[in-house]
Chain A
Amino acid sequence: MATLKELSNKEILVTPGHRACAGCGFPIIIKQALLAADNPVVVGCATGCMEVCTTIYPYTAWKVPFIHNAFENSAATVSGVEAAYQSLKRRGKIDKKIDFIAFGGDGGTYDIGFQSLSGAMERGHDMLYICYDNQAYMNTGIQRSSATPRGANTTTSPAGSESYGKKQYRKDLTEVMVAHGIPYVAQGSPAMWNDLVSKVNKGLAVEGPAFMAVIQPCVLGWKYPADQTIELAKLAVDTCFWPLYEIVDGEYKLTYRPKEKKPLVDFLRKQDRFRHLFKPENEHIIAELQAEVDRKWDALLAKCGEQA
């Protein structure tokens, strides 16, 4: 595993001058992911904040070849790029080793791009799909997605006198991807740079498809001060709301176990999207959310062969 000192000698293949909000989480994810690559990388990206903020014509923040096609087809598009690579390599027109990363937000991955992702993974393209999961449709103004946690206030699951926010628990896409039987699946957090870099590195190195869900705090959508991005990405992990684990060829492995499992409220309290949950009439929801985190965490520990 490279140290930060070693990594800092590498060229960062995404530039400043992008228009993401101050404190946005996704540029940190791009930076760490591209630092993890050993080979030249071609990147595809779904419509969303990442694409919009990094490629406002005539500017691009990407120093690697980059393609944006549409919202729901990042995986299919990159599968085509990868197919072209396999074909041209076979025909002797390319001799370099090239890696492929498809990015998508949670809307473009869990929801509208779900079929495209499932198809690309099932077909076995040699590519890494990274979902930057900020838990709502942030680019269009914070609408709920199937990745939005239960209880969150979004513009289409607003909290109100008769509502505590989103009713449903979030879809566990990571587990759905495990069910695809692909060689590598992982969850990451930009707060744990070494864990994330190492996972991207593994995801690119495996032959065949790899999937990573990476949590991405969003200043606007989660409603917190801009300097708290990494703090929240860390709290998500330390409360076991967003465990860091990987599945290599079907084998579960916990890659980070918090020394002390923090209560979920530590994560919730810092975000105004959950503020309404702290009203007396909604407090039972917090208890339910905690119980769900506990249940899933225990199940994960069992899968990873860890002591509860």
Chain B
Amino acid sequence: MSVPKDAGWKDVPKAGRILEPGCAAKYETGGWRTYRPVHVPENCINCLLCWVYCPDMSIQVENGRFKGIDYRYCKGCGVCAQVCPGKRGNKALMMLLDEEAQGAEGDTK
């Protein structure tokens, strides 16, 4: 919820009620990350396990297919890469040191 910086006690909803559903999405947790998952499309079978297990709702899916990783929120836990079955033993998600992975192939930022 947007609470203007100059708001006073009379300006905010009563009792700390938060009237804008899901506004935590305005708070980006990507800065917590040390490692980042990087997608390797050729190994992806679109099983969507990464999507259902990501604790930070950071795997984007469109029409039932992997679309990308929302690095604004991804905390780099590595669960997605861990659960990824990949193809023939090659995972479709790899964890790379965040700064090194910037701009690496598959970076969907």
Instruction: Say yes or no: is A70 at the interface (Cβ < 8 Å to chain B).
Output: no
A193→B23 contact, CB < 8 A:
no
A4→B79 contact, CB < 8 A:
no
Q: How many of chain A's residues have a CB under 8 angstroms from any CB in B?
A: 47
Instruction: Say yes or no: is B97 at the interface (Cβ < 8 Å to chain A).
Output: no
Among A1-56, those with CB < 8 Å from B are 4-9, 12-28, 31-32, 54-56
B53→A57 contact, CB < 8 A:
no
Interface string of B58-78 (1 = CB under 8 A from A): 100100100000101101111
Q: Which B residues are CB-close (under 8 A) to A154?
A: none
Most buried by B among A4, A8, A18: A8
Identify A32's interface contact among B23, B52, B77, CB under 8 A.
Answer: B52
Shortest distance from the beta carbon of B46 to any chain A beta carbon, whole Å: 8
Interface size class of B (residues with CB under 8 A): 35 or more
Q: Which A residues are CB-close (under 8 A) to B95?
A: 227
- Give A117 to B28 CA distance when docked, in angstroms: 35
Q: Which A residues are CB-close (under 8 A) to B21?
A: 60, 62-64
B82→A12 contact, CB < 8 A:
no
Identify A22's interface contact among B23, B75, B83, CB under 8 A.
Answer: B75
Shortest distance from the beta carbon of B74 to any chain A beta carbon, whole Å: 8
A60→B24 contact, CB < 8 A:
yes
Identify B77's interface contact among A23, A56, A57, A62, CB under 8 A.
Answer: A23
- Give A27 to B59 CA distance when docked, in angstroms: 14
Shortest distance from the beta carbon of B100 to any chain A beta carbon, whole Å: 18
Shortest distance from the beta carbon of A50 to any chain B beta carbon, whole Å: 12
B52→A193 contact, CB < 8 A:
yes
Among B10-28, those with CB < 8 Å from A are 12, 16, 18, 20-28
Q: Which A residues are CB-close (under 8 A) to B83?
A: 230
- Chief secondary structure at chain B's binding surface: loop
Q: Which A residues are CB-close (under 8 A) to B48?
A: 4-5, 8
Q: A23-B78, A60-B23, A228-B82 are in contact. Are A17 and B55 (CB under 8 A)?
A: no
- Give A54 to B28 CA distance when docked, in angstroms: 13
Q: Which A residues are CB-close (under 8 A) to B61?
A: 8
Residue of B nearest to A18 (CB): B24
Q: Which A residues are CB-close (under 8 A) to B25?
A: 15-17, 61
Q: Which B residues are CB-close (under 8 A) to A6?
A: 64
Q: A4-B47, A8-B48, A28-B53 are in contact. Are A23 and B79 (CB under 8 A)?
A: yes
Q: Which B residues are CB-close (under 8 A) to A24?
A: 55, 77
Q: Which A residues are CB-close (under 8 A) to B33?
A: 22
B55→A54 contact, CB < 8 A:
no
A16→B78 contact, CB < 8 A:
no
- Give A225 to B79 CA distance when docked, in angstroms: 10
Q: Which A residues are CB-close (under 8 A) to B49?
A: 4
Instruction: Say yes or no: is A229 at the interface (Cβ < 8 Å to chain B).
Output: yes
Q: What are 29 A-B contacts with C-beta separation under 8 Å?
A: A8-B51, A14-B57, A16-B25, A16-B72, A16-B73, A17-B24, A17-B25, A17-B29, A18-B24, A18-B56, A25-B55, A28-B52, A32-B52, A57-B18, A58-B2, A59-B23, A59-B24, A59-B26, A59-B27, A60-B1, A60-B20, A60-B21, A60-B24, A61-B22, A61-B25, A62-B22, A63-B21, A190-B53, A229-B55
Binding site for A on B (CB under 8 A): 1-3, 12, 16, 18, 20-29, 32-33, 47-49, 51-58, 61, 64, 70, 72-73, 75-79, 81-83, 95
Binding site for B on A (CB under 8 A): 4-9, 12-28, 31-32, 54-64, 190-191, 193, 219, 225-231
